[in-house]
Amino acid sequence: MVSRGTSPDIPDTDDHSHEDSTTNDASSTTVVASDDEPADDDARREATYSCFEGEDETDYTAGPVRIVEASDGVKPDCGALLLNLDFTSKIKTAVEAERELASANLKAKAQIQECSDFEHELKSRTGKHEYGLALAEQEAEEDDKKIAEVRALHAELEKLNSLLEETVAEREDVAANISMRADELIQLQMQVNCYLEEAFVVANLLNPADALGEPSVSPRDVEEEYKKLCEKTDAQSDDDNDNDYALHSFEDHFKPRPLSDEEQKEKELQDAYDEAKSSLRDAQNQFEKRELYRETDRCENEWTLQQSRGAESVAWEEFDVLWVQKISELTRELIDAEAAFAAARRAAAEAGVEIDDADQSSEFGIEDGVYPPSVDEQLIAFVPRARVEAWLDAIPDSTPGADFEAARSDVEVDEWAADEVEVGDSYSTVAEPEEKRKIRKWQRACGNGRAA
């Protein structure tokens, strides 16, 4: 609520008093103007000032913050600023933050000074302890009874250093906190200035701001800067130097050796292989997460459907069609990435380029005793493909049911009595004699006679 009258709690800077022109109500913070005509211009102005008992949107303009013509009680047409609730809220927030920063700044200065004094005292005591420790260590070489004293001094010195580090960290934290609060105040003041800038630009009291562009900073040249420094140094000295200010260069010693045609080709093949491998990993990652992406898209579409009541969302039939297309695109990208990777790998292998073909970041070489990729190819070569494919062909394609269970009895399977393994658990059946015989049987069938 807005009332006309003199604002309370604001001290007068003039010598005269306005007690005759205002009356105070003890039950209200509002000061109401006297019925008598104000005696001078200052009193007339004070009679037009507003004092709030709380505030809401109805106390302000519903439009933007603008400069308008108004009367100050003396002059009928002077400029005044129209306020809105958001603008006044930002002003109060910025002013309160500035007050808090001023108080915190005074306290921080005292804390920083105390920390600095304490650091100085700790450094002094640490230096004296180091001197005493050196003397004790010399005495301990001749007297074993001094060993305990040396250990105690070592412990004290270590604690003193820890205390010094904590004090330095405390001082830095205080300074960092003040800096952070100062940055926050700048942001709050910028929010207030946005309103003021707009009002002043509209009133033609301020030119519109120029568009911010990329700053133009010319790079400096080492040779030129060195020459300027030498000329400046010579101009300040009385020596008569005749120098060309040439700076010795050792760049030739650090230039990479030019690659031969064979090395350049090998590098290009290596780079092509690495790029194809990276693209394949990205495509695999996108394909494996397709259901996660689809579910996320479905949730967003459902939320949009609820918010806009169907005006901005995608129909579920169209959504399914779109995702069939997306999954098809992801599949095609994966197929293309696999083909590109295979081609790059084949080209590198044919050229004799040593490539990292393992999915590991350590990039150990085969000579380091790691599992070489060629072992996979050797094991696959021993597999009896005809027998495996015949076994797979014997498995019916029908869904589980009575017919499936009937057909299942005709398929060659191993009766395996091992327990089910839960996620996160592990269980080995290799050591059990019965299971061990079955494993060896399959090893012999696959042409691998190695023990498990």
What is the DSSP secondary-structure string of 339-359?
Answer: HHHHHHHHHHHHTT-----SS
Q: What is the pLDDT of residue 33?
A: 44
* pLDDT for the residue numbered 122: 92
- pLDDT at 273 (0 to 100): 87
User: For 410-435, b where at least 16 C-beta lie within 10 A, e where not — what string?
Assistant: eeeeeeeeeeeeeeeeeeeeeeeeeb
List of residues 6+ apart from 196 with CB closer than 8 A: 65
**DSSP per-residue string spanning 131-156:** HHHHHHHHHHTT-GGGHHHHHHHHHH
pLDDT of residue 361: 41
Strands (E), 63-164: 67-70, 78-81
Mode of pairing for the β-strands spanning 22-24 and 78-81: unpaired
Phi and psi dihedrals of 266, rounded to 5?
-65, -40
Q: How far apart are CA 270 and CA 230, in angstroms?
A: 47
Residue 69 and residue 82: Cα distance in Å, rounded?
10
DSSP 285: H
pLDDT tens, 166-197? 999 999 999 999 999 999 999 999 999 999 99
Q: What is the pLDDT of residue 106?
A: 94
Per-residue tokens: 114: 């105390």
Flag residues of the chain having pLDDT under 50.
6-34, 359-369, 429-433, 448-452
Is-contact 33 76, C-beta < 8 A?
A: no
Q: What was the pLDDT predicted at 25?
A: 38
3-state secondary structure of 81: strand
Q: Residue 339 phi/psi, 5° resolution? A: -65, -40
Structural contact between residues 30 and 46, judged by C-beta atoms closer than 8 angstroms: no
Instruction: Please report the pLDDT score of residue 93 as a whole number.
Output: 94
The rounded percent of the chain whose pLDDT value lies above 90 is 27
The predicted structure's pLDDT at residue 230: 84
Question: What pLDDT is stored for residue 141 in this prediction?
Answer: 83
The predicted structure's pLDDT at residue 408: 54
Does the pTM exceed 0.85? Answer: no
pLDDT at residue number 222: 86
Tens digit of pLDDT for each residue in 342-364? 998 888 888 887 776 554 444 44
Angstrom distance (rounded) from CA 209 to CA 212: 9
Residue type, 177: N
Distance CA(27)–CA(85), nearest Å, equals 26
Q: Check if the beta carbon of residue 358 is closer than 8 Å to that of residue 373.
A: yes
Burial-class residue 6 by CB neighbours within 10 Å (0-12, 13-18, 19+).
buried
65 contacts 71 by C-beta, under 8 angstroms: no
3-state SS class at 78: strand
pLDDT of amino acid 250: 77
